[in-house]
């Protein structure tokens, strides 16, 4: 496994792979790797000749009051995990490599994919994500791009970017990997207190309550969301930021809940922002 910090070196390796007609799978991450990331890596390993994983905590996608400085960084452990999965290349650029002094291009995403959910609460976030992923795709030029359903809005945004900018890459979306108690795995979970960690699985439990109500025939979004909200607000330490029912593809608000609806939420617990979703 090679670790490279500079895009020109990535280009020269990628050129060799392309000449040898090898398909390239790419998994962008911010490190602090867990099983959620590793499932993306394994999917890429299964479906491509070579796999590239990037590790980069992208300052552009964090707001001024967000957790950029507290975001967990565990590079040595991450490299060991990726070595075990036999990844061919880790691209771990420095901030200066990614955003040199002279840098003036940013991607701006508009439309329904950035109307609701996280977007109003994280201004600039998805532009930062789109910009960094476009840069990473420019360096790695993969055939397939592996993304997790955990960050459903990020998936919708990046699918738009790929289509709108005619990028020759196929997004592959992998299911949410959860802890044994249902909590969606996240690098941020390690910042929860012991008590918070015990409370956090209520988010998925509440989403499942919503699903069971839909399974019983309820299709009015407000009614389903109200029942989910009730379960969550029983936990006083959790501050729900949003809870929405949207079309899983377009992210437009659902007028009726049914197959193809995604119920998504964000909540604060111990000052840690958690997100989760369920697609019906």
| Three-class SS state of 186 | coil
Tell me the sheet residues that pair with 277: 264
Q: Per CB under 6 A, does 147 bind ligand AMP?
A: yes
Closer CB to ligand AMP, 57 or 213, in the complex = 57
Q: Per CB under 6 A, does 185 bind ligand AMP?
A: yes
Contact predicate 262/243, CB 8 Å: no
Helix (H) or strand (E) holding 265: strand 261-269
Catalytic residue among 34, 37, 49, 180: 37
Q: Per CB under 6 A, does 7 bind ligand AMP?
A: no
Q: Per CB under 6 A, does 79 bind ligand AMP?
A: no
What's the gap between Cα 212 and its chain centre?
26
From candidates 177, 200, 207, 243, binder to ligand AMP by CB under 6 A: 177
Query: Residue 32 CB, nearest distance to ligand AMP (Å)?
Result: 7
Query: Residue 265 CB, nearest distance to ligand AMP (Å)?
Result: 15
Q: Per CB under 6 A, does 151 bind ligand AMP?
A: yes
Q: How far are the Cα atoms of 163, 173, 178, 200, 266 from residue 272, in angstroms, in the given order?
A: 33, 25, 17, 10, 10
DSSP code of residue 176: P
Q: Per CB under 6 A, does 90 bind ligand AMP?
A: no
Q: How far are the Cα atoms of 11, 75, 88, 164, 174 from residue 145, in angstroms, in the given order?
A: 17, 22, 15, 16, 11
Q: From 212, 206, 204, 138, select the one nearest 177 (Cα to Cα).
A: 204
Residue nearest to ligand AMP (CB): 148
Task: Mention every residue, 6+ apart, whose C-beta is less than 8 A from residue 92.
Answer: 3, 4, 5, 54, 55, 56, 75
Query: Residue 72 CB, nearest distance to ligand AMP (Å)?
Result: 10
Q: Per CB under 6 A, does 36 bind ligand AMP?
A: yes
Q: Per CB under 6 A, does 29 bind ligand AMP?
A: yes
Query: Residue 151 CB, nearest distance to ligand AMP (Å)?
Result: 4
Helix (H) or strand (E) holding 273: strand 272-279
Q: Per CB under 6 A, does 135 bind ligand AMP?
A: no
Q: From 213, 267, 259, select the one nearest 237 (Cα to Cα).
A: 267
Q: Per CB under 6 A, does 134 bind ligand AMP?
A: no
Provide the pairing of β-strand 50-55 with 89-91: parallel
Q: Per CB under 6 A, does 221 bind ligand AMP?
A: no
Closer CB to ligand AMP, 150 or 160, in the complex = 150
Site string for ligand AMP, 154-173 (x = CB under 6 A): --------------------
- 34 noted as active-site residue: no
From candidates 1, 5, 30, 240, binder to ligand AMP by CB under 6 A: 30
Structure token pair of residue 138? 């420019």
Rounded CA gap, 48 and 32, in Å? 24
**Where in the sequence numbering do the catalytic residues fall?**
37
Binding site for ligand AMP (CB under 6 A): 29-30, 36-37, 40, 147-148, 150-151, 174, 176-177, 184-187
């Amino acid at each position: 496994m090679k670790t490279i910090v500079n895009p020109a070196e990535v280009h020269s390796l990628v050129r060799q792979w392309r000449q040898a007609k090898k398909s390239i799978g790419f998994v962008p991450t911010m490190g602090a790797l867990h099983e959620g990331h590793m499932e993306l890596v394994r999917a890429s390993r299964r479906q491509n000749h070579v796999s590239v994983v990037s590790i980069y905590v992208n300052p552009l996608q964090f707001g001024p009051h967000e957790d950029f400085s507290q975001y967990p960084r565990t590079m040595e452990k991450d490299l060991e995990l990726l070595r075990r999965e036999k990844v061919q290349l880790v691209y771990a650029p420095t901030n200066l490599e990614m955003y040199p002094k002279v840098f003036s291009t940013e991607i701006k995403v508009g439309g329904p994919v950035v109307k609701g959910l996280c977007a109003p609460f994280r201004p600039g976030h998805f532009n930062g994500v789109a910009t960094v992923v476009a840069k990473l795709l420019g360096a790695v030029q993969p055939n397939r791009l592996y993304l997790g359903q955990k960050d459903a809005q990020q998936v919708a945004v990046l699918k738009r970017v790929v289509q709108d900018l005619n990028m020759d890459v196929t997004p592959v979306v992998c299911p949410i990997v959860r802890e044994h108690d249902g909590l969606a795995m996240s690098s941020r979970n390690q910042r929860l207190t012991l008590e918070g960690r015990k409370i956090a699985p209520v988010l998925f439990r509440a989403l499942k309550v919503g699903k069971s109500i839909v399974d019983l025939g309820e299709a009015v979004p407000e009614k389903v969301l109200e029942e989910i909200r009730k379960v969550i607000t029983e936990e006083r330490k959790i501050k729900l930021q949003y809870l929405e029912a949207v079309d899983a593809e377009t992210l437009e608000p659902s007028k009726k809940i049914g197959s193809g609806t995604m119920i998504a939420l964000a909540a604060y617990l111990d000052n840690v922002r958690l997100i989760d979703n369920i697609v019906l």
